[in-house]
Amino acid sequence: MAKATAKTEPRRGRDAESIKWGFAEHLKYTLGVDRYSTEDYKRFMALSYAVRDRLINQWLLTQRTHHNKGAKRVYYLSLEFLMGRAMGNNVINMGIEDEVRDAMAELGYDWEELREQETDAGLGNGGLGRLAACFLDSMATLDLPAFGYGLRYDYGIFRQGIENGFQVEHPDDWLRQGNPWEIERPDITVPVRFGGHVITVEENGRLIHKWIDAEEVQGVAYDTPIVGYGGKTVNTLRLWSARSGEEFDFQRFNDGEYVEAVADKVAAENLTKVLYPNDTLYLGKELRLKQQYLFVACSLWDILRRFKKSGKDWSELPDMAAIQLNDTHPSLAVPELMRLLMDEEGLGWDQAWDITVKTLGYTNHTLMPEALEKWPVHMLEKLLPRHLQIIYKINHDFLQEVAINFPGQAERLRTMSLIEEGDSKMIRMAYLSIVGSHSTNGVAALHTELLKERLVPEFAEMYPDRFNNKTNGITQRRFLLKANPELSKLITDTIGDEWITDFAQLKKLAPYAKDKAFQKKFLKVKEQCKIRLAETIERETGWKLDTDTLFDVQIKRIHEYKRQLLNALHIIMLYNRIRKGEDVVPRTFLIGGKAAPGYKMAKLIIKLINNLSKVINKDPAVRDKLRVYFPPNYRVSLAEKMFPATDVSEQISTSGTEASGTGNMKFMANGAITLGTLDGANIEIREEAGDENCVIFGLTATEVNDLRPTYNPYKYYEENEEIKEALDLLFSGHFNFGEPGLFDPIKELLFEKGDFYMHLADLQSYADAHRKIDELYRNRSKWAEMAILNIANAGKFSSDRTISQYAEDIWGVKPCPIEYNLDQAETLDEAKAQE
Ligand SMILES: *Cc1c(COP(=O)(O)O)cnc(C)c1O
């Protein structure tokens, strides 16, 4: 059968000619603009629509296949999806990049420039949201029947500006110019209730709980296609947007309260207005709880509606649906699923509970106490009275089980209770998630161990079979194939292209690590990537990076536990060394990331880095050896340019604090050397790459724990001349620029407040590690060998591996490839005949 062409199928043909036509038609008939008088964004939109057209058939086919085959589906519930841009990824996964490039070139446009028009979809804070996005790519590529469910925030993560070295937040109005990838589904609108109260009535000899007098809002579905590599399976990301329940409250309208009635409508629609910009911090805001419930209620309603169409008995729900909770943010799924099964569908408690536990799985993402969600009982009482009743009953049954399992241990009833007693009673959402699901997983080997040993030891003892590890991963399609075309070509030219869907194939590169010709090619690629990044940064900031220097990069959310301050303190030490005439390898430090708007210390650390940059970069005594830059507004699209250009990957969190990290994996796959602590997935990176191909420093998680009771940061200052000199320089005001006392809170943090993240304990060992990096980098051939071995051993860190393990161990879902390919149809008639 011939491929579809422009003449036969203008919306499906994948040749350059058809794409050209599709583009021209959308420019004119969808956007209503003239080809000769239009702006770049309109052209980007037209091309997006043309690309989207070419996804629609596979999208519909995928849904039909999953339905026809009665396939079990995965539902990935996440309050964050940090998607970044869609255009490049869609085109690459569909295998039409050359055709799109040619089509645009024939019209006189540059594909690389057009795709730069796209606004990042920044519906997440950092690692957790990006993980959800990588998982969507892997699930589609592995042909798994899957839905991502989330919220369609009008404003995603803020845009970071830097003024006088300080972070300023600007609203991220990402939908302003239109989002060409989504399709609104007004027919899929879900009623959601808040408030009111519960009455118990007897009907046919049964007690029925009725939730009455609640206010109603609605969630409207917006769907985005998620195409897997190879262009076969197209899954769905379904995001909910809040609408007011009733257009007008007619009573109030008649009473003349027109404006008040409309204002209520606006209040309801504010529910999905903005993403909370806090990474690993729980705030306890009522609006956030309402977001979580709207999200869970809409998603479960939709999942149960789809199940009911199968006509199966409720006992079969766990065979048809696996629902994964990305952290506790969607943990209201436990009482909501119970409520739906009992109050709406009439099941008894025991059967509903059995189904709920079998259907849900929970992923824990952090051990940090300030991140653990605990909703006040009074807040649930007011907003979700029926859910509170259900949680109390779950807790009652659970504590009875505890009492039976651990007789005579009354203390356990207090420590394990889902309700924390105190001035204000709180619901421990992590405990609720563990009890209400059949699987609890951590996100790296060390994290899972610490989860079991330190965070919830009593739960691990009671339910040993529920706990398991799923080390995080990243999609190589975005972070290597798309982000680093030069390196991808070198790899494919050397070992073939199977690594794109089977990352373990990278192992075949290992024999080339010592090959001088291959090393040269690798180093050349690295240089090209540095030049490309330098061009981007110059365009955005005007700074001119020196691409002949070593690029040392730390990009991630700014947080005390991630220790950007350790990086800054070492830079001051290096500054002193250079001023004293020490010969060092010329370096460019790049540090980027957003701080939560209310996180004062993180924002002060940004200011410190920017002031270091200001002093160092223009000091003629050091500027040839040392530069420091803080590229503003770190986000997925910038990340994609930074990973490929990096020589040294900074992964320097206090051991035991970083659950996994995924930035560390993106660097590794792009041939950067990890300079890191034995924390999170760094441990597994070292295991894979080999100790000799990483530079590891600092205390281990056990050592951190053992030292903590007696830790005295002042000792490290007193007893180490070089550390003392660096801190004295910092606190002398050398980097203050006429703002006296500016960095006093950092002094307090390190001394008076006891340096909780142990910067000073690790600083000497960190400085020594940097010296080792210098030594290694001076031998460029040896350096290239190490970097190549890192790439060759990055196979484990594909999210394809992670997702295969979830599918096998937790979800029990199998690949379900589409049945036939409509794109092969030659004519519309033939396509219709197939349908
Ligand atoms: C990968 C990624 C992260 C996570 O980085 P970590 O170093 O693991 O914290 C955060 N933000 C963006 C934009 C990313 O791409």
- What is the spatial distance between Cα 278 and Cα 327, in angstroms, rounded to a whole number? 14
3-state secondary structure at position 734: coil
Which among 447, 556, 559, 603 is annotated as catalytic?
556
618 and 637 share a domain?
yes
Residue with tokens 């349908």: 835
**Residue 113: CB atoms within 10 Å:** 12
378 and 435 share a domain?
yes
pLDDT of residue 22: 94
Give residue 807 CA to ligand 1 midpoint distance, Å.
24
Give residue 818 CA to ligand 1 midpoint distance, Å.
33
Tokens linked to 236: 């769905």
Q: What is the CATH number of the domain that holds 164?
A: 3.40.50.2000
Tokens linked to 322: 């696996």
60 and 25 share a domain?
yes
Beta carbons within 8 Å of 149's beta carbon, 6+ residues apart: 75, 76, 77, 78, 238, 239, 240, 295, 298, 299, 302
Average pLDDT of the residues in 298-316: 97
Give the residues across from 208 on adjacent strands: 201
Domain membership of residue 157 (yes or no) is yes
Q: Assess whether the C-beta atom of 156 lies below 6 angstroms from ligand 1.
A: no
**Residue 745: CB atoms within 10 Å:** 14
Which among 85, 365, 387, 570 is annotated as catalytic?
365
424 and 512 share a domain?
no
> In this structure, what are the phi and psi dihedrals at residue 426, rounded to the nearest 5 degrees?
-130, 150
Give residue 131 CA to ligand 1 midpoint distance, Å.
9
The residue out of 61, 94, 119 marking a domain boundary is 119
Q: Assess whether the C-beta atom of 93 lies below 6 angstroms from ligand 1.
A: no
Whether 524 is catalytic: no
Domain membership of residue 821 (yes or no) is no
The residue out of 469, 500, 521 marking a domain boundary is 469
* E strand or H helix that includes residue 441: strand 439-442
Which among 43, 666, 759, 770 is annotated as catalytic?
666
Pocket test for ligand 1, best of 478, 646, 662, 802 (most atoms within 8 A of CB): 662
Q: Is the pLDDT assigned to residue 694 strictly greater than 70?
A: yes
Q: Which amino acid is at 829?
A: D
For the segment 15-73, what is each residue's pLDDT rounded down to a tens digit? Answer: 999 999 999 999 999 999 987 767 899 999 999 999 999 999 999 999 999 999 999 99
149 and 95 share a domain?
no
Nearest ligand 1 atom to alpha carbon 638:
13
Beta carbons within 8 Å of 269's beta carbon, 6+ residues apart: 242, 243, 244
Domain membership of residue 818 (yes or no) is no
SS3 string, 593-629, reads CCCCCCCHHHHHHHHHHHHHHHHHHCCCCCCCCEEEE
Average pLDDT of the residues in 611-626: 97
Domain membership of residue 558 (yes or no) is yes
Q: Whose CA is nearest to atom 15 of ligand 1?
A: 636
Nearest ligand 1 atom to alpha carbon 562:
9
* E strand or H helix that includes residue 227: strand 215-227
Q: Which amino acid is at 493?
A: D
Give residue 635 CA to ligand 1 midpoint distance, Å.
8
Which among 233, 646, 662, 802 is annotated as catalytic?
662
pLDDT of residue 121: 98
455 and 596 share a domain?
no
The residue out of 469, 487, 522 marking a domain boundary is 469
Which of 544, 155, 159, 207 is CA-nearest to residue 346? 207
CB 239, CB 265: distance < 8 Å: no
Pocket test for ligand 1, best of 123, 128, 159, 556 (most atoms within 8 A of CB): 556
- What is the spatial distance between Cα 307 and Cα 303, in angstroms, rounded to a whole number? 6
Q: Whose CA is nearest to atom 5 of ligand 1?
A: 663
Tokens linked to 668: 């590794």
Q: Is the pLDDT assigned to residue 8 strictly greater than 80?
A: no
Q: Assess whether the C-beta atom of 478 lies below 6 angstroms from ligand 1.
A: no
618 and 645 share a domain?
yes
Pocket test for ligand 1, best of 89, 475, 555 (most atoms within 8 A of CB): 555
Least confident of 255-269, 433-447, 810-824: 255-269
Question: What letter would DSSP give residue 153?
Answer: -
Domain membership of residue 763 (yes or no) is yes
682 and 772 share a domain?
yes
pLDDT of residue 474: 98
The rounded radius of gyration (Å) of the Cα atoms in the chain is: 28
For the segment 313-367, what is each residue's pLDDT rounded down to a tens digit? Answer: 999 999 999 999 999 999 999 999 999 999 999 999 999 999 999 999 999 999 9
Domain membership of residue 807 (yes or no) is no
Q: Is the pLDDT assigned to residue 826 strictly greater than 70?
A: no
Give residue 94 CA to ligand 1 midpoint distance, Å.
26
Q: Is the pLDDT assigned to residue 422 strictly greater than 50?
A: yes
Average pLDDT of the residues in 267-280: 92
Whether 12 is catalytic: no
102 and 138 share a domain?
no
For the segment 89-104, what is each residue's pLDDT rounded down to a tens digit? Answer: 999 999 999 999 999 9
Q: pLDDT confidence of 246, banded at 50, 70, 90?
A: low
pLDDT of residue 832: 53
629 and 591 share a domain?
yes
Question: What letter would DSSP give residue 588?
Answer: E
The 3-state DSSP composition of the chain as helix, strand, coil percent (nearest 5) reads 55, 15, 30
**Residue 618: CB atoms within 10 Å:** 10
Tokens linked to 24: 């021209």
pLDDT of residue 279: 87
- What is the spatial distance between Cα 101 and Cα 201, in angstroms, rounded to a whole number? 66
CB 759, CB 652: distance < 8 Å: no
36 and 185 share a domain?
no
* E strand or H helix that includes residue 203: strand 197-203
Domain membership of residue 736 (yes or no) is yes
Beta carbons within 8 Å of 559's beta carbon, 6+ residues apart: 279, 280, 595, 599, 602
Whether 285 is catalytic: no
Q: Assess whether the C-beta atom of 26 lies below 6 angstroms from ligand 1.
A: no
Least confident of 233-247, 630-644, 710-724, 765-779: 233-247
pLDDT of residue 5: 54
451 and 528 share a domain?
no
Q: Whose CA is nearest to atom 4 of ligand 1?
A: 127
- What is the spatial distance between Cα 446 and Cα 260, in angstroms, rounded to a whole number? 54
Q: Whose CA is nearest to atom 3 of ligand 1?
A: 127
Distances (CA, A) of 105 to 194, 369, 539, 670: 54, 54, 23, 29
pLDDT of residue 821: 61
> How far, rounded to the nearest angstrom, does the alpha carbon of residue 535 sit from its chain's CA centroid?
27
Query: Is residue 403 exposed (0-12), middle (13-18) or buried (19+ Cβ within 10 Å)?
Result: middle
3-state secondary structure at position 15: coil
pLDDT of residue 247: 56
> How far, rounded to the nearest angstrom, does the alpha carbon of residue 34 sit from its chain's CA centroid?
39
Average pLDDT of the residues in 197-203: 94
- What is the spatial distance between Cα 591 and Cα 138, in angstroms, rounded to a whole number? 29
| DSSP line for 156-202 | -SPEEEEETTEEEEE---TTTT--TT-EEEEEEEEEEEES-EEEEEE
Domain span at residue 724 reads: 479-797
Domain membership of residue 378 (yes or no) is yes
For the chain, how many structural domains are there in total? 3
Give residue 633 CA to ligand 1 midpoint distance, Å.
13
Whether 365 is catalytic: yes
Which of 550, 578, 785 is CA-nearest to residue 649? 550
pLDDT of residue 253: 66
Whether 666 is catalytic: yes
pLDDT of residue 645: 98
| DSSP line for 649-693 | EEE-PPTTS-S--SHHHHHHHTTPEEEE-S-TTHHHHHHHH-GGG
Percent above pLDDT 90 for the chain: 91
- What is the spatial distance between Cα 752 and Cα 731, in angstroms, rounded to a whole number? 14
Looking at every residue in the chain, the average pLDDT score rounds to: 95
pLDDT of residue 312: 97
Which among 73, 557, 759, 770 is annotated as catalytic?
557
